[in-house]
Structure 1
Amino acid sequence: MSVRCWGRPVLPSLGSLALITAIGLGATAASAQDRRQNAPGEFDFYVLSLSWSPSFCEDAAERGNGGGRSQQIQCGGRPFSFVVHGLWPQYERGFPEYCDRDSWLDRNIMTSMLDLMPAPGLIFNEWKKHGTCSGLGARGYFETIRKARAAVKIPPEFIDLASPKTVSPDDVETAFIKANPGLPANAIAVTCNRSRLSEVRICMAKDLQFRACDEIDRRACKRDQVTMPPVRGG
């Protein structure tokens, strides 16, 4: 590429090339962003994320992180299996976040959700990052979480898991599909860390019916096998 000045070709400096490249990359990133970015209520579907709590707690223990009150509640005496990590508004590509940074969550609403999301800090964060993008008020958003969770049956073999279980991500998907008639294979994704099952993510339309979500499905765990630590106290 050259730039003409007084009729003579002048090559741009390295600094100019870097600036041009940066502008180009910025334009590419902007074009990839959904035009509705961070407009509350303007999204395509939800992802219900169900976290395997024993994996979370074992990961935290390995990090030597005593955690705050939220972690102590989740990883304390009460046995938790799958818990709700969140209900996330999504675009077909990408997602909105922090659509109203000034919004606050009433403590009474937070405490009402501890049976499904056993960590106060998680509940506050999910409202700020994801709930404010739903277009719903705080109470309506968490009522929607409760309805979404009620629409999904946990396979019985995972409810009171008493000993470590080695599974393939496909086996977990198959178990959820069997327990939830109408759940298509491209509406569910299992995620993992280096060795443990982390989450099961299920895609739902705004009316909470199961629906396909290719981008979420592509991000599923690629490992052949993962471990599910037992339910605490099991």
Structure 2
Amino acid sequence: MMKKSSALREVLFAAAIMLATAVSALSPVNAQERRQDRQPDRAGNFDFYVLSLSWSPTFCATAKGGRNDQQCGIDKRFRFVVHGLWPQYEKGYPDFCRTSEPERVPRTVGEKMFDIMPSMGLVGHQWRKHGSCSGLNQETYFDKVRQAYERVAIPADLTRGDRPLSLSADEIEQKFLSANPGMSHRGIAASCEGRQLEEIRICLTKDLAFRDCAEVDRRGCTISQVTLPPAR
């Protein structure tokens, strides 16, 4: 009798485990996980671009030496540089897309960008993570990066870099708006690292016209005072 009772308990326990597993599979948590399990990103399948302009002195304040010397060496005086031109969805973004292009960017291609993207490390990483999702080949993508950079007028009083400059994020954005007719508050965001300006993110159509981008705008810096550290 004891053996039968023990066997019955084991059967009931196993049945309970199976039932719990089935219920769990149908629970909202697991259903949410399945919904987030998106398909691989496809090159060329995106809605718009974000041009990210990094304030180089902020980056170089914590990234001196080694491979960053090309951008941050003692003889360098970079101000705004291109962090990247990023394909975006209306919500979220694609990255590391499959492409027939090589992962490695030839130096002959990268060197042409050094005036606005001052290191092969930066050029190569931006291609692999973001450029690969543009649907363009490497040379055409980096031509697009330059066109986007030249599309934006950078306010002259922000680029002097001879002394620290403190403004609100809204004031920084307003200077860009004043210098770029057609740009709106909903299409630009200043990003901060602590209390220093990290970068300016500007939303552009695939044809590089200014456009609004609610998600990017919401993630902008909102502190009252943002400092642009000097180039030296």
Please state which band the TM-score falls in when normalised by the shorter chain: 0.7 to 0.9
Identity %: 43
Which residue of structure 2 lines up, in the alignment, with residue 169 of structure 1? Answer: 169
Is 1:124 aligned to 2:127, yes or no?
A: no
Which residue of structure 2 lines up, in the alignment, with residue 93 of structure 1? Answer: 91
Within a 5 Å distance, the mapping from 1:25-174 to structure 2 comes to 25-30=32-37, 33=38, 37-60=40-63, 66=65, 68-69=66-67, 71-76=68-73, 77-100=75-98, 103-174=103-174
With 19-28 and 166-175 compared, the bigger mean Cα shift is at: 19-28
Q: CA deviation at 1:24?
A: 2.2
Q: Counterparts of 1:18 and 1:191 in 2: how far apart (Å)?
A: 40
Higher helix share: 2
- SS of the residue 1:190 aligns to: strand
Which residue of structure 1 lines up, in the alignment, with residue 190 of structure 2? Answer: 190
- SS of the residue 1:212 aligns to: coil
Q: Which amino acid aligns with 1:181?
A: P
Mark the runs of 5 or more structure 2 residues left unpaired by the alignment.
1-11
Task: Mark the CA change 1:59 to 1:14 in structure 2 (over 3 Å): closer, same or farther.
Answer: farther
Q: CA deviation at 1:158?
A: 1.4
With 49-58 and 158-167 compared, the bigger mean Cα shift is at: 158-167
Q: CA deviation at 1:27?
A: 1.6
Q: Counterparts of 2:162 and 2:207 in 1: how far apart (Å)?
A: 35
Q: CA deviation at 1:161?
A: 2.2
Which residue of structure 1 lines up, in the alignment, with residue 8 of structure 2? Answer: none
Q: CA deviation at 1:73?
A: 1.1
Runs of 4+ in 1 over 2 A off after TM superposition: 9-25, 100-104
Q: Counterparts of 1:112 and 1:176 in 2: how far apart (Å)?
A: 26
Q: CA deviation at 1:28?
A: 3.2
| Residue correspondences, number | 216
| 8 Å contact from structure 2 (residues 42, 98) kept in 1 | no
Which residue of structure 1 lines up, in the alignment, with residue 31 of structure 2? Answer: 24
| 8 Å contact from structure 2 (residues 63, 72) kept in 1 | no
With 81-90 and 15-24 compared, the bigger mean Cα shift is at: 15-24
Q: Which amino acid aligns with 2:36?
A: A
Q: Counterparts of 2:61 and 2:22 in 1: how far apart (Å)?
A: 50
| 8 Å contact from structure 1 (residues 100, 128) kept in 2 | no
Q: Counterparts of 1:13 and 1:114 in 2: how far apart (Å)?
A: 61
Q: CA deviation at 1:13?
A: 7.2
Q: Which amino acid aligns with 2:140?
A: G
Q: Which amino acid aligns with 2:123?
A: I
- C-alpha RMSD of matched pairs (Å): 2.4
Larger radius of gyration: 2
Mark the runs of 5 or more structure 1 residues left unpaired by the alignment.
1-5
Q: Counterparts of 2:146 and 2:69 in 1: how far apart (Å)?
A: 23
Is 1:214 aligned to 2:224, yes or no?
A: no
Q: Which amino acid aligns with 2:104?
A: W
